[in-house]
Amino acid sequence: MPFFILSILMQVALVVHIIKTGRDTKWVWIVVMLPLAGSIAYLLLEVLPDVSNTRAGRAAGKKVKSVVNPNKDINQATKQFAISDTVENSMNLAQECFNKGLFSDAKSLYEKCLKGAHVGDAHLMFGLARSFFELGEYLDVKATLDSLIDINPEYKNADAHLLYARTLEKLNEVAAALEEYEALHGYFPGPEASYYFATFLKKQNQNEKAKAVFQQIVDTASNSGKHYNSMHKEYVKDSKRELSL
């Protein structure tokens, strides 16, 4: 369908929504006179706030805002860091750098934070380990996570545990990786750890066991609600593909 027709249909739908919901009629003129910008403005300022207190609404709002201003979060974090070079601002900027794929910058910021009173901070160490992993520095990942647990023996984080298992796999420590994956498969929320476990088993030529884990992922999704399937659709889709091979 041509873009022009889609644009007209969108305008009509929004005008109907404005009238039915009793919005200020100035929005009709804004949407009609400024088809793209006006429609986006109406959705951001009027429609999304109505559903912002729901999980789906928050997710939708985040997606729209990421399209309209994809660098907003990292720009804000950079500005705050420039104003005040605190550990909190450095950590926020590190996370935004990580989200943008700027892993070297994230690593440098996390390393900068891990000094003085924060030298053994578990959250900072986990952030550093994640950055090392994305940079392919697997020995540093393992050393960082080992140190994290030594310093913070009560620290519990399923994502950190999965990162450790994946790191052992990358380092070809097969027996240790298998032990960690088996533990994760039993308790990790969602299918992510099970998916990596199954792909690990497949690499070890344990094809039947791998297929059983892939099947379990698919079966769990089939018996779960819409939200679960929406959150984990990539792992479920990839598991189905593996079963079809």
Are the C-beta atoms of 232 and 221 separated by less than 8 Å? Answer: yes
Q: Are residues 44 and 103 in the same domain?
A: no
Range of the domain at 238: 179-245
Nearest by Cα to 152 from 179, 119, 183, 177: 119
Q: What is the pLDDT of residue 185?
A: 96
Q: Are residues 204 and 236 in the same domain?
A: yes
Q: Are residues 104 and 61 in the same domain?
A: no
- Tell whether 230 is covered by a domain: yes
Domain boundary among 155, 171, 204: 155
Q: What is the pLDDT of residue 2?
A: 61
Domain boundary among 11, 46, 68: 68
* CA distance linking residue 222 with residue 128, whole number of Å: 36
Q: What is the pLDDT of residue 209?
A: 97
Q: Per-residue confidence of the chain (245 residues) as pLDDT tens digits?
A: 465 677 777 888 888 888 887 777 778 878 777 777 777 777 777 776 654 444 545 555 555 555 545 678 888 888 888 888 898 999 999 999 999 999 999 999 999 999 999 999 999 999 999 999 999 999 999 999 999 999 999 999 999 999 999 999 999 999 999 999 999 999 999 999 999 999 999 999 999 999 999 999 999 999 999 889 989 999 999 999 999 98
* CA distance linking residue 30 with residue 93, whole number of Å: 36
Q: Are residues 76 and 29 in the same domain?
A: no
- Tell whether 169 is covered by a domain: no
Whole-angstrom CA distances from 25 to 29, 32, 44, 106, 239 are: 7, 11, 17, 47, 49
Q: Are residues 151 and 201 in the same domain?
A: no
Q: Are residues 13 and 60 in the same domain?
A: yes
Q: What is the pLDDT of residue 24?
A: 77
What's the number of domains the chain is made of? Answer: 3
- Tell whether 162 is covered by a domain: no
- Read off the tokens for 8: 């007209």
CATH number at residue 75: 1.25.40.10
- Tell whether 170 is covered by a domain: no
Q: Are residues 77 and 61 in the same domain?
A: no
